Structure formats: C-alpha cells, structure tokens
Structure 1
Amino acid sequence: MANNIPAEEVRARAFSMPFHCPAYPPFPDTFLDRASLTVTYRSDLDKVAALVPEPLTVTDPVVSIAFLFMRAPKLGDYYEVAQSIRTELNGEQILFRPSMYAESVAAIMDGREILGLPKKYGQPMLRLVNDTLLGTLEYGGSLVARATMGYGYEEMDPEKAKAIAGAPGVVLKIIPHVDGKPRILELVRFGYESVSVKAAYTGPGALELFPNALAPLADLPVREILSTTHTVSDVTLQWGEVVHDYLA
C-alpha cells in the first residue's frame, strides 16, 4: 500500500498552489535595478475617497501612477503599473493601492496570494525613446495610461529618492471562502528593506488616462501634476502586517 503525504508535511511545505509544483518561489522577493517612472498628481476628493475603505482617511486627493520594470531573480523580469492614493492610518501617512497591473502570471499570483496586492493581467511598458522616458499601460487591447518625462533632466536629492523608492503601502486583501463569502478581509501593510538607490531624477512630465471598463484609472482624473520622478533602485519586499481585520 502506497503512503500518502503526511499531514504535518503538508503543513510544513504548503505556501502556494499547486502543492507539488508551486506557481512561484518562496517569499521574500528582491528586485534589482528596479526602474520606476512615477507621476504624482492631484485629483477630485470625492472620487478618490470613493476608492478608499475605512479606517483609512483621505484629506488631500493625491494619486500616483508608477510604471515599473521589475528585475526579480526568482520571478524573472517583467513590467508593472501600480496606482497609489495618499492616505492616513493611525497617524501614519501611507500609500493605499487600489489597483496594479502586471504581465507576469507568477508575479500576479505571488503578490495576490501572499500580500493581497490587487494585481490584474495587463500589458505595461517602460522604455526610453530618444530623450523621453515613456510609460504605457494597455488592457484588453486598448490604451489605458501614457506617461512621459524628460530623461535625466535634474538629479534628485538622494534621501528623498530613497524615501520614494521605499515608501510603505497598504492594500485590501480579499480571499473568498468556498461559499463565495470572504474568508480573509484585511488591510495589509507592507514595506521594503535594503533599499539602495542607484539613480534618481526629476523633470517635466505628463500623464494621460483613457477610459476603460476593467482598468478604470481614468476614474481619478488628472487635475494638477505635482511631481514626476525616475528612480533606479534595489529593494527587498518585506513580509506584510495585518493592520485591520474587517471580520474580527
């Protein structure tokens, strides 16, 4: 009679599905030479607040769109877009991420299952075209976002660049039960360690957002661009921390 896998071994080895060939390698994730084009802008308070769950609060409708090239030794290279909203939680200023888009299935599953990062499959891109840094996001065959920045325009303060590259975030993690109701419903805080900034610039920038039914970045319209930055850094994504449990 063949022996099944003992229950204690299942508990010890389980971190992703399928059990016998996990969809991604064990956490944590380190990113090398992570390039980021980030446009930060002010939007409409009522529209921004409508995406932010309590107990997070919004007093200034500041939104960021980051176009990223991720070089992950364990996940492979891929492009990503992250949308962030400036919020506060228990007196701490923290970035709430309502949506993210990536072209890597492993990176999507890794981020969603472990931390609850709200990743969907899309076609982001970040590239240099002559003197212009260009970031784009396509979803479902249509252009959703396009950002441009003057390349290497003005060097940033190193400490400010490090703070941007390692800024903590918070996400709403939702894992449904087998009956469709939420089994996990939490705000999860995450951060970065071993942050090393290799290059950092600021300069003139522009951001265009286009309506899309399933990638609604344009629902938060651009009213005023506050900053445009380009950083290249090494970072390690930390384990998360549950800061609010909606089912407790």
Structure 2
Amino acid sequence: MHADQVVNSLNTPLTAPAYPTPSGTRFIDREYLNIVYRTDPEALRAVVPEPLTVGEPFVRFEVMHMGDVGGFGPYTEAGIAIPVEFEGEHGEYLHAMYLDNFPATAGGRELSAYPKVLGSPRLYVDHGTLVGTLRFGTLPVAVATMGYKHQRLEPDEALRQITVPTYMVKIVPGYDFRPRVADLVRTRITDITVKEAWTGPARLQLFHHVLAPLADLPVVEVVSASHILTDLSLAPAQPVFDYLARVPSA
C-alpha cells in the first residue's frame, strides 16, 4: 500500500475501515422519546464546560431509534442533552450518548465530536406504554416511560424541541497524552420532516453506575415528554471555541 493511499484513507483498519466515508448521511424514521426534567443546579453546572452557560436547571433524557441510516443501518441511541447558551444563542450541550452500533459510535466520535460510547439502549411499546431503557454492560442505567400517543403535539413544537443548535467538545489526543485539538463545536439538524408527534405523562428512573453516571444529574421533577417520528439530516460540525488558544500550556 502506497503512502498516498494511507493519506487518503479516512480511518482504520486500512483494508476494512470501521465506518464508511460520509456522503450526506440521511436518517429515515428517526424516532425520539424525550423526557425533560429538573435537576440539581450545582450538579448541572459541574458538568457543563465553559464558555457555555446554564439557565434553568433542565436536562433532556432521550432515547432514539434510527430506523434507517445510510452506511450504518438501524440502531438505537440514548443520552443526555442540557439546555445552554453560547454568545446569546440558545442550544443544547450533548453530555453523554450510548449506542448499540460500533461504526456509528466510532464515526460520530472521530468525524464529529459526539460523546458516544457503546451501550445497550432500547425503545419499544409495552402494554400502552412507550418505554426507553439504557443498560451499560448487564446493569440498568435508565428506565423512561411515557403514555403511548396520549395527546398530539403540534409539529411546530416538535421542530422547536429537536432543531436547536447542538454543542459538543471535540478532543483529539497527541502522542504526549495532551490534546492536539480541544474545541467546542456546533452542529444542527437540517432538512427535517416531522411525521408524527405526541406528548403525555412520563416518568424517568436513573440508576447509579460509575462508567455511565447519568444519575449524577438526579431527577427532581419531570417537566415534559414527547414522542416524535422524523426524517432528517445532520449538518457538519463547525468549531466555535478553541480551548487550547485560551489555556496556557502546562
């Protein structure tokens, strides 16, 4: 294999890459269970990085089933997003994400900045209840329940909930175990069609796990819930803040 072939490769193994070259990935039948809850404000501030700021101490727990994703196929994902503000713009900070698909996990981390790790999320209906669960290894981390299609949600409200700008931290380590890249990046959902949208009563249980510490943001009060089915695309991530330029070298 020639050097130019190596340079033109996007990821490894060179002869069987972990994920395909992106070509405008489209999500078909992306189904959300969203539960917004109030948490401890000090615990929230402890996990949100500067220069993002936190207003009301809200957290959005989400479970998403991807019905069909180009290059990856169907998979399920769960995680936590936190409402934040950056330079006057309201958005969400992605705190943690857990997937049951390794190519989507590796591609999300390397190509963008999604804080993805492997886990075992599920989204299904059980006796008139929409259920979202997350396990890490064999242990439960989260159980979310919502009344299945109890009340219709206005499409405009569904769009508002899932199209806010998204912020993430991109870290690329060097061989000296210091970051070569440490950026705050921004992306956004685009080209979206809301197929169905519902709301209803909901509950959320979080279980303490040292390697999946979602329960460090405890549930004080469930504020709202939604169940949304969409087709959408994701815009490429763009850096908006360089941590290495602001922090003196050690």
TM-score after normalising by structure 1: 0.94
Residue pairs, 1:1-248, within 5 angstroms: 4-7=1-4, 9-11=5-7, 13-27=8-22, 28-70=24-66, 71-248=68-245
The offset of 1:18, in angstroms, is 2.4
**What amino acid is aligned across from residue 69 of structure 1 in structure 2?**
H
The offset of 1:123, in angstroms, is 0.4
The offset of 1:237, in angstroms, is 1.1
Determine if contact 2:171/2:181 at 8 Å carries over to the other structure.
yes
Whole-angstrom CA distance in 1 between matches of 2:53 and 2:142: 26
The offset of 1:167, in angstroms, is 2.6
Cα offsets for 1:104-131 (capped at 9, x unmatched): 0001001000111111111000001121
Alignment RMSD (CA, Å)? 1.2
Determine if contact 2:63/2:78 at 8 Å carries over to the other structure.
yes
The offset of 1:140, in angstroms, is 2.4
The offset of 1:6, in angstroms, is 4.7
Cα offsets for 1:200-221 (capped at 9, x unmatched): 0000000000100100000001
Q: Residues 52 and 166 of structure 1: is their aligned pair in 2 closer, same or farther, counting only changes over 3 Å?
A: same
Q: Secondary structure at the match of 2:160?
A: helix
Whole-angstrom CA distance in 2 between matches of 1:196 and 1:52: 30
Structure 1 segments unaligned to the other structure (5+ residues): none
The offset of 1:232, in angstroms, is 0.3
Determine if contact 1:165/1:233 at 8 Å carries over to the other structure.
no
Determine if contact 2:90/2:164 at 8 Å carries over to the other structure.
no
**What amino acid is aligned across from residue 44 of structure 1 in structure 2?**
D
The offset of 1:196, in angstroms, is 0.5
The offset of 1:10, in angstroms, is 4.2
Determine if contact 2:32/2:229 at 8 Å carries over to the other structure.
yes
**What amino acid is aligned across from residue 176 of structure 1 in structure 2?**
P
Structure 2 segments unaligned to the other structure (5+ residues): 246-250
Whole-angstrom CA distance in 2 between matches of 1:159 and 1:222: 27
The offset of 1:22, in angstroms, is 1.9
The offset of 1:61, in angstroms, is 1.1
Q: Secondary structure at the match of 1:23?
A: coil
**What amino acid is aligned across from residue 162 of structure 1 in structure 2?**
L
Determine if contact 1:165/1:195 at 8 Å carries over to the other structure.
no
Whole-angstrom CA distance in 1 between matches of 2:147 and 2:198: 9
Cα offsets for 1:108-163 (capped at 9, x unmatched): 00100011111111100000112100000001211100000001111111111122
**What amino acid is aligned across from residue 71 of structure 2 in structure 1?**
K
Whole-angstrom CA distance in 2 between matches of 1:134 and 1:146: 7
**What amino acid is aligned across from residue 50 of structure 1 in structure 2?**
A
Determine if contact 1:166/1:235 at 8 Å carries over to the other structure.
no
The offset of 1:238, in angstroms, is 1.1
Whole-angstrom CA distance in 2 between matches of 1:56 and 1:168: 12
Aligned length in residues? 243
- Over the matched positions of the two proteins, sequence identity in percent amounts to 39
The offset of 1:231, in angstroms, is 0.2
Q: Secondary structure at the match of 2:103?
A: helix
The offset of 1:188, in angstroms, is 1.0
